[in-house]
């Protein structure tokens, strides 16, 4: 590996996603093999990374994922790459709360020993921008800021003033100054950026991204200032032999999966078979278990409802006692009906007697820790993940068991979740399987590697 670095920002909205995508595109255009990563619980940004690089982009997170797994995942994924680019989350030091570093971009950079490139929105700023950079550079000395990228710079004179201020304060140098380019912005909707599956981007969009960076950022200097960290000596997970087939719904309605979750299942012996309900696929007949991830079922509700082979397949799978695991959007599809953003009510699989509805003013967001209770052989298993949804249940399913005791990142009790109906386990919480491999593996009928209790956390 020639170079590795984190692209961070003082706050959300500074342009780090656009800058990250542009850097990826420019490096790809140079013929370099680029491995992308995303800090935090995000599915959409990694999907855009993968579209540009042609490689899966992996999530790194020091609250959800054990530190050793973060290191192993980074070094194993980037081992054959020329450059590793990690996109940060929120502001550089924003994490689980106002006192702890866990979950922040800075903590991840420190854990893996990566330099940070700080993207600063310089609109309406001059010398004050240097004061801002100085504060970030000195806040935690163990998080080295190796350079600054000015974004939304108004003119060459503006850029000269910004650079002079950095130099006069003895701060890391500016590596580039990017002018506003509104045509490069990605479209958004209720859960953030539009996914690559649904984004109608012009064919030349990636070329424009790359040209924007090549014209206004010194890529050679960036690569020179960001040497990769030494790889640690970590055990390499071995793949187990197995015969269990796990069917994974994968299309524009079911697109929120951590790639590492699927790889963990494969290492445990699962054969992953992807199918597309939107394309008319039913549940694969040879499946031993079904995994329904999150996504946008509310956007495609009518098409899902029209696929009776899919819905009947789920009902039949459930009646036969075969395991189903569903998160967020997947859970919504297992409900009796789904109310769309336009107010229509569409029938779904009906495995859980509840109606899911969209509520634009009710946003559920945050880290979550779950402790399993009441499941033979799984009691006490502790896993971590997050919630990120606008939908809610009209009323909790009556008579349906809940098997998760839920806490937030502060350890505050949030009640119960994790709805269980026979061999179907579903809820709004997206779990990162690396936080507790035993939980999904045991539920799906695969052998788990080791117990994961609260005391084994970071």
Portion of the chain with pLDDT greater than 70, in percent? 92
Residue 367 tokens, joined: 């880290």
Q: What is the pLDDT of residue 330?
A: 97
- The average pLDDT across 20-35 equals 97
Domains, the chain, ranges and CATH? 3-224 (3.40.50.300), 245-456 (3.40.50.880)
Q: What is the pLDDT of residue 410?
A: 95
Confidence check: pLDDT of 449 > 60: no
Q: Read off the pLDDT of residues 174-188 as tens digits, 9 standing for 90 and up.
A: 999 999 988 787 766
Q: Read off the pLDDT of residues 270-283 as tens digits, 9 standing for 90 and up.
A: 999 999 999 999 99
Residue 200 pLDDT class (50, 70, 90 cuts): low
Q: What is the pLDDT of residue 236?
A: 66
Note the Cα 369 to chain centre separation in Å: 17
Active site residue 328: yes
Pick from 153, 155, 136: which is nearest to 144 by CA? 136
Confidence check: pLDDT of 389 > 90: no
Q: What is the pLDDT of residue 96?
A: 95
Residue where the block lists tokens 């055990």? 235
Portion of the chain with pLDDT greater than 90, in percent? 82
Residue 197 pLDDT class (50, 70, 90 cuts): low
Confidence check: pLDDT of 193 > 70: no
Q: What is the pLDDT of residue 283?
A: 97
Q: What is the pLDDT of residue 455?
A: 39
Please tell me which residue, 451 or 169, carries the higher pLDDT value. 169
Per-residue HEC secondary structure of the chain comes to CCEEEEEECCCCCCCHHHHHHHHHHHHHHCCCCEEEEEECCCCHHHHHHHHHHCCCCEEECCCCCCHHHHHHHHHHHHCCCCEEEEECCCCCCCCCCCCCCCCCHHHHHHHHCCCEEEEEECCCCCCHHHHHHHHHHHHCCCCCEEEEEEECCCCHHHHHHHHHHHHHCCCCCEEEEECCCHHHCCCEECCEECCCCCCCCCCCHHHHHHHHHHHHECHHHHHHCCCCCCCCCCCCCCCCCCCCEEEEECCCCEEECCHHHHHHHHHCCCEEEEECHHHCCCCCCCCCEEEECEECCCCCHHHHHHCHHHHHHHHHHHHCCCCEEEECHHHHHHEEEEECCCCCEEECCCCEEEEEEECCCCCEEEEEEEEECCCCCCCCCEEEEEEEECEEECCCCCCCEEEEEEECCCCCEEEEEEEEECCEEEECCEECHHHCCHHHHHHCCCCCCCCCCHHHCC
Give the whole-angstrom CA distance, residue 176 versus residue 9: 14
Catalytic residue among 328, 335, 436, 452: 328
Q: Read off the pLDDT of residues 248-270 as tens digits, 9 standing for 90 and up.
A: 999 999 999 999 999 999 999 99
């Amino acid at each position: 590996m020639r170079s590795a670095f984190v692209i961070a920002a003082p706050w959300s909205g500074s342009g780090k996603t656009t800058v990250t995508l542009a850097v990826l595109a420019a490096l790809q255009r140079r013929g370099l093999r680029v491995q992308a990563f995303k800090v935090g619980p995000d599915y959409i940004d990694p999907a855009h990374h993968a579209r540009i690089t042609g490689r899966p982009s992996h999530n790194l997170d020091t609250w959800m994922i054990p530190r050793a797994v973060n290191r192993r995942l980074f070094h194993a994924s980037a081992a054959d790459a020329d450059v590793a680019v990690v996109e940060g989350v929120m502001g550089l030091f924003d994490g689980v709360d106002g006192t702890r570093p866990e979950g922040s971009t800075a903590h991840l950079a420190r854990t893996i020993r990566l330099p940070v490139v700080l993207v600063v929105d310089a609109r309406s700023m001059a010398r004050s921008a240097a004061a801002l950079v100085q504060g970030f550079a000195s806040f935690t000395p163990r998080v080295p800021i190796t350079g600054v990228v000015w974004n939304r710079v108004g003119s060459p004179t503006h850029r000269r003033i910004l650079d002079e201020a950095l130099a006069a304060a003895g701060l890391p140098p500016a590596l580039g100054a990017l002018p506003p380019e509104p045509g490069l912005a990605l479209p958004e909707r209720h859960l953030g950026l539009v996914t690559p599956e649904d984004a109608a981007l012009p064919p030349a969009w990636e070329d424009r991204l790359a040209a924007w960076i090549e014209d206004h950022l010194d890529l050679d200097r960036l690569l020179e200032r960001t040497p990769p960290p030494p790889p640690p000596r970590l055990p390499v997970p071995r793949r187990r032999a197995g015969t269990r087939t796990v069917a994974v719904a994968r299309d524009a309605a079911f697109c929120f999966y951590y790639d590492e979750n699927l790889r963990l299942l494969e290492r445990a012996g699962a054969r992953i078979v992807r199918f597309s309900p939107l394309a008319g696929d039913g549940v694969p007949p040879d499946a031993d278990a079904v995994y329904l991830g999150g996504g946008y079922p509310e956007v495609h509700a009518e098409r899902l409802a029209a696929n009776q082979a899919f819905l009947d397949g789920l009902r039949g799978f459930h009646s036969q006692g075969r395991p189903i695991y569903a998160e967020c959007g997947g859970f919504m599809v297992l409900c009796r009906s789904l109310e769309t953003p336009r107010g229509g009510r569409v029938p779904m699989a009906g495995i859980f007697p509840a109606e899911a509805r969209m509520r634009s003013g009710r946003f559920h967001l945050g880290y979550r820790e779950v402790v399993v209770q009441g499941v033979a052989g799984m009691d006490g298993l502790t896993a971590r993940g997050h919630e990120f949804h606008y939908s809610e249940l009209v009323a909790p399913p009556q008579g349906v068991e809940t098997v998760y005791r839920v806490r937030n990142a502060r350890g505050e009790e949030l009640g119960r979740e994790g709805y269980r109906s026979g061999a179907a386990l579903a809820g709004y919480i997206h779990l990162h399987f690396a936080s507790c491999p035993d939980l999904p593996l045991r539920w799906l009928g695969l052998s788990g590697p080791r117990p994961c209790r609260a005391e084994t956390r970071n």
